Chains A and B, each alone.
Chain A
Amino acid sequence: MRRDTKRTGVFTRRALLLMGGQVALLGGLGARLYQVQVVDAPRYKMLSDQNSVSARLIAPPRGRILDRVGTVVGGNKVNWSAVLIAEETDNVEATLAVFSQLVPLDDHEKSRILREVHRHRSFIPVLVKDFLDWDQMARIEVNAPDLPGVAVDAGTTRIYPFGEKLAHVVGYVAPPTEADVAADPLLALPGIRIGRAGVEKYHDLALRGHAGVVELEVNAVGRVIREIARQEGTPGETVGLTIDADLQQAVVGHLGDESASAVVLDCTNGEVLAMATNPSFDPSLFDSGVPQAQWQAWISDERRPLLNKATEGLYPPGSTFKMAVAMAALEAHALTPTDRIFCKGYIDVGNARFHCWKRGGHGSLDLYGGLKNSCDVFFYETARRTGIDRISAMAHRFGLGTKLDIDLPAQRVGLVPTREWRQAQGHPWEIGDTIVSGIGQGYIQVTPLQLATYVARVATGRAIQPHVTRVMGGEIQPGADSLDWPLMDVTDKWLALVRSGMWAVVNEPGGTAPEARLPGSRWQLAGKTGSAQVIRVSRAEREDTNFNSAKLPWKLRPQALFVAFAPYDAPRYAVSVVVEHGNAGAEEAAPIARDIMMEALTRDPANRAPPNPEQVAEKS
C-alpha cells in the first residue's frame, strides 16, 4: 500500500505539472491570438477588404463631336447585345435553340457560345449576339419567358452621321490593341474605344472622359454579392468643331468623283469651315473591325482613300506659288510694282532654257500683269532677282512648307527649299533650282491646307493658323476671334497689289481663270490657278503641237490647283482646291473653287455659329 501511495504521489505531481503545461500552452495560444487579432489586426483588415472588395471601372460615355452649329458629327448609339448567363438556364442548348428561332445564329456562333459557356464560371455573361437591331431586341424581350438566362445588354457604339463626308476630319475610333492595354489598363474596360484618326485621335483623352468606379463585394470564386459603393465617372467632353457640316457636304458634292481635296477657311481667324478629301472611307467600319477585303481595297487604291489629302497630301503648288514669290521680291525691293519684264516665251539662264507656259511669250509685263497672266518668264526673272532664300523665307511666313498648328493628328510639312537644305543633301544649289521655284515647281511641295492658310494670310495680312476645334467643355477656345491672331509683318500696299493681281486673274479680261468668276454681281472672287507638272516635259514633246498632257496616263498628268478668297473687298473665305492629276488648274480646279466659294458666301457659316453649340445639340 505504501508503494501505491508513492505511485499516487508521483501521479498527482505529474498531473499537476501537465495541467500547468496545458494552461501555459493555452495561454500562449491566447497571447498569439492577441497578436493576430489586435496587434496585427490593421494589416489583416486590409487584406480582408482586398479579398472581398473588388473595384471595377465603369466605362464613361465618349464625348460627342459637334459641328459649329451643334449638329452631331460623331456620337454614340445604343448597341443592344444579347448575353447568356449559364446558371440561370437548365439547358443552354435548348435556350440557344429558342434564341436562334428569333434571331438567326449560325453553327459557328453556336459552337463559340458553348465553348465560352464551358470556359467561364456559370454566372459570367457570355455574349450571344452583338449589334442587334431594335426589332431583334424587342423580339428577345417579348419572348423572355422562353429564354431563361438570356439578357439584353445595352452598350454603345460610335456613329458618324456624315460618314465618309467627314471621315478625315472627325476620324474614327477602334478597340484598343494589346499594346494600348499594356500601357493603360483602363483601356481593358469593355466598350472603351480609342481615337485612331482625326479629331477622335487628337482629342482622344478629353473625349474619353474619366472612368467611374463601382466597389463590389465578391466571394472567393468572384461572384458579385452586392454593390458597396459607386462613383460615377465623368463623361467625355463634347468637342465643338469649326466645321460646318452643311458646307462640308456641299464641298464634297462639288469635288464629284475626282481624287481631290478642298479646304475652306475663315480668312479672319483660321477656322476650318470645310475640309474635304475624295475618295473617302466609312469611318464606322473601324469600330467593329474592318473586313479584310475592304482594307485591301483601301490600301491598294492609287487614289489613297485613307489619306487626309488636305493635310497629308503633298503637291507642287505650281503657279499658285507666285504670290509668295511676288511678296518676297517686293519686300526685298528686288522688284518694284512698276518694274517691267519682257517675256519672249522663254528665258535662258546659264546654258539652260526655261519656257513660259505661253508659247510666243507675253511681251512686257509689270507685276500686276505677271500675276494676271501667270507669266512664267516674269516669275523666273523675279525669282532670279530675289534669290531662293528670300523666297522660301517669305513662303514659310505665309505657311507654305512649314508645320501648321492644325489640331489634327496627321499633317505633313512639305517643303519650300533653301540653299542650306540642298547643301545638307550634299548638292550645291543651282540657279536653275531658283528659276523653277519661281513658278512653284522643283522641290516645292505643299498641302492643300497650307495653300488655304497662305491665301487667307494674303487676304487678311493676319498670321492666322488653321484650326478645327472651336468649343471644348462648353468654352470657346482661343483663336475664334480675328484679333487673337497677330498681323503679319509685311507691307500692306504690297499685299494689296498682290490681291489686285489675283482679282485680275479672275475678273479682268485676259486673266487666266475667267471660269472662277462668281455669278451675279454681289461678290467678287480673287484667285490664282496652278498646274504643276509631275513629270518633266521633254523638248520634243514641248515642240510637238499635238502634245496634250490631258492624254497622259492619270498618274502622269499635271496636278490642277486653285486658290481663292472672297469677297475681294472684304475677305472672309479662303478656298484651296487640288484636283490630283486634273491637268489644268484653270479648267479643273477653278470651277470647283468657284462653286465652293459660292456655297460659302451664300451659307455664310462664319456668321452662323451659336456661342454654345452643345445647347443646340441637346435640343435637337
Chain B
Amino acid sequence: MMDRRLLRETSFGLAAKLWQVSWLYVLMLCALAGVGYVALYSAAGGSPEPYADRHVMRFAVGLMVLIGVAMVDIRVIQKLAWPAYGVCLVLLAVVARFGHVGKGAQRWIEFGGLQIQPSEMMKIALVLALASWFHRASWERIGNPLFLIPPLIAILLPVGLILKEPNLGTALITAMLGATIFFAAGVRWWKFLLVALPVPLIARIAYTHLHGYQKARIETFLHPESDPLGAGYNIIQSKIALGSGGMWGKGFLQGTQGQLDFLPEKQTDFIFALIGEQFGLVGGLAVMALLALIILGGMLIALRCRHQFGRLVALGISVNLFLYVFVNIAMAMGAIPVGGVPLPLVSHGGSAMITVMLGFGVLMSVHVHRDVEFSTVEDRF
C-alpha cells in the first residue's frame, strides 16, 4: 500500500520547507549551546573572554549553516555524497602528509584562515556515502558479500588515514560509525561477527605498533594512580573535579578544581567535569538528559523518514553524535582512555562546531525532506 504522502510533490517552496524544520530540535541545540556558554564562561574564570563569546558567535554561524543545509534538497545531498567523500579523502591524505599537529593528536590544515580537521568532515561524508550506497541496494544485494566490499573499503581508507595522523580515538569512532551504517542497512549479524572475531588478535598486533603516547594513554587509563603527576594526572584531576562536586555541586564559579587550574583541558576535553564540579550530579545528569534528547530526536527523525537514504543519514549522524558524547563523558569520569574528543556544542573549538552544525543541517534536511519521492531500488537495479 502506498501512503498518500509519498505521492506528495517532490519539491516544494522555501516557506514550506522552513515550516517543516523542527524548531523544537533547534531549540534543544540552542539550549545545549547555552550550557556551553555557561561552562566556557566559568572555564575563563568568570569571563566571556576568551571562550564564551566566541562560542556564541560560532554557534550563530553554525545555526545559519544548519538552516541553509536544511533547505538543500536531500536528493541533491545524495548526489553530492560521493564527491564529498572524495574531497574529504583527499584532504585527509593531504593532512596526513602536510598537516599541523596540535596536542599530539588532532591534525588540521589551514584553509582560508579556518582550521579544518578533515577527520571530522569525513565522518559526515562517510555517513552520506554509505547511506547513498545502501540506499540503492536491494535486500538481496545487501545479502551478497561482494556488494559489501566497496563500502568496506570506503570505511577502511579514511580509518587508515586517520590512524596515520595519528588519532586512534577518531579512527575507532569512524570505524564504529561505518559499522553502524552497515548494521542499520541490514547486513547480517554473522558477518559482523566474522569481522569482529579477529579484532582481539589485530588489536594485539596493532598495540605493538601504537605510538608511545597512545600506549601511555591506555596504560594510564588502566592504572591512573601509577603516574599521578604524569599522564594519569588528567584523569585523576577530572575525577576529583566531578567527585568533589557531589550531588549539588560547588556552585557557579566556585569549583576549585576548575577555577584554580587543577583541571586540565577544562574548556575542551574535560568540560563535562567542569560542569559536574560546579553543578553536581544534578547538573551533570541534566546535561546528559539534554544530549540524550538530541540524540534520540535524531534517531526519531531517521525512523520517520520515508526513504532509505534519509533514514541511514539521520541514523548515522545521530550515532556519530552519540559516540562523541559517550566518549567525551566517559573519559571525563575515567571510564575510557582519554582521547581528545570534544563535547559537541559545549566544548570550545571552531571547526568542530561548524562540522557538527553541518551534520545537524543534513539531519534537518532529512527531516524537512522526509517524505520526498526518491528513486527507489528497482529504478537502478
Contact = CB atoms under 8 A, between A and B. Distances in A.
B326 interface: yes
A46 to B, nearest CB: 8
Contact of B335 (A1, A32, A43): A32
Interface string A42-62: 011101110110000000000
Contact of B281 (A12, A34, A48): A34
B180 interface: yes
Nearest to B247: A38
A120 interface: no
B262 interface: yes
Contact of B285 (A6, A33, A36, A45): A33
Nearest to B308: A7
Interface in A11-51: 11-12, 14-16, 18-19, 22-23, 25-26, 29-30, 32-34, 36-38, 40-41, 43-45, 47-49, 51
B20 interface: no
Interface string B262-273: 100000000000
B169 interface: no
B320 to A, nearest CB: 12
B362 interface: no
Contacts of A6: 139
Contacts of B281: 33-34, 37-38
A51 B288 contact: no
Nearest to B334: A36
A217 interface: yes
A364 interface: no
A217 B262 CA distance: 12
B284 A33 contact: yes
Contacts, number: 149
Contact of B260 (A36, A37, A40, A217): A217
B185 interface: yes
Given A52-B262, A220-B262, A15 B184 contact: yes
Contacts of A12: 303
A202 B4 CA distance: 105
Nearest to B142: A7
Nearest to A46: B244
A14 to B, nearest CB: 5
Given A36-B242, A48-B256, A29 B303 contact: no
A52 B308 contact: no
Contacts of B257: 48, 51-52
B302 A15 contact: yes
Nearest to B260: A219
Contacts of A14: 183-184, 186
A23 B288 CA distance: 11
A11 B261 contact: no
Interface residues of A, number: 42
Interface stretch (B62-70, B75-83, B105-113, B292-300): B292-300
A10 interface: yes
A532 to B, nearest CB: 68
A11 B284 contact: no
Nearest to B180: A18
A123 to B, nearest CB: 14
Determine which residue in A26, A34, A37, A52 has the highest number of CB atoms from chain B within 10 A of its CB, and name it.
A37
B299 A51 contact: no
B333 A11 contact: no
A142 interface: no
Contacts of B322: 22, 25
A154 interface: no
A19 B299 contact: yes
B261 A44 contact: no
Nearest to A2: B139
A48 B335 contact: no
B311 A43 contact: no
Contact of A36 (B261, B333, B376, B378): B333
A37 B243 contact: yes
A3 interface: yes
Nearest to B272: A33
A349 interface: no
Given A48-B244, A219-B262, A8 B285 contact: no
A6 B281 CA distance: 44
A218 interface: yes
A487 interface: no
A29 B138 contact: no
B270 to A, nearest CB: 13
Contact of A11 (B237, B308, B319): B308
Contact of A7 (B139, B237, B244, B315): B139
Contact of A45 (B183, B243, B303): B243
B315 A47 contact: no
Given A44-B239, A48-B241, A30 B256 contact: no
Contacts of B184: 11, 14-15, 18
A225 interface: yes
Contacts of B243: 36-37, 40-41, 43-45, 47-48
B140 interface: yes
A3 B143 CA distance: 12
B240 interface: yes
Contact of B242 (A33, A220, A221): A33
Interface string B325-343: 1100110011100000000
A40 B243 CA distance: 6
Contacts of B240: 44, 47-48, 51
B259 to A, nearest CB: 8
B245 A37 contact: yes
B46 to A, nearest CB: 13
B244 A3 contact: no
A45 B243 CA distance: 7
B308 A8 contact: yes
Interface in B269-313: 276, 280-281, 284-285, 288, 291-292, 295-296, 299, 302-303, 308, 311-312
Interface string B232-252: 000001011111111100000
B18 interface: no
A51 B256 contact: yes
A217 B254 CA distance: 13
B377 interface: yes
A106 interface: no
A12 B305 CA distance: 10
B155 to A, nearest CB: 17
A465 B241 CA distance: 64
B315 A51 contact: no
A4 interface: yes
A4 B376 contact: yes
B246 A26 contact: no
B246 A15 contact: no
A33 B319 contact: no
Given A37-B281, A48-B257, A219-B261, A29 B330 contact: yes
A44 B262 CA distance: 13
B186 A29 contact: no
A304 to B, nearest CB: 53
B246 A41 contact: yes
Contacts of A1: 2, 376, 378
Of all A-B residue pairs in the complex, the 7 with the closest CB atoms, nearest first, are A44-B243, A48-B244, A219-B260, A220-B261, A52-B256, A10-B186, A37-B281
16 contacts: A3-B139, A4-B308, A6-B139, A11-B315, A14-B184, A15-B303, A15-B315, A22-B295, A26-B292, A29-B329, A37-B276, A37-B280, A45-B243, A49-B244, A51-B237, A220-B262
Given A22-B295, A41-B247, A43-B243, 6 more contacts: A18-B184, A19-B299, A29-B288, A41-B244, A48-B241, A52-B257
Interface of A: 1, 3-4, 6-8, 10-12, 14-16, 18-19, 22-23, 25-26, 29-30, 32-34, 36-38, 40-41, 43-45, 47-49, 51-52, 217-221, 225
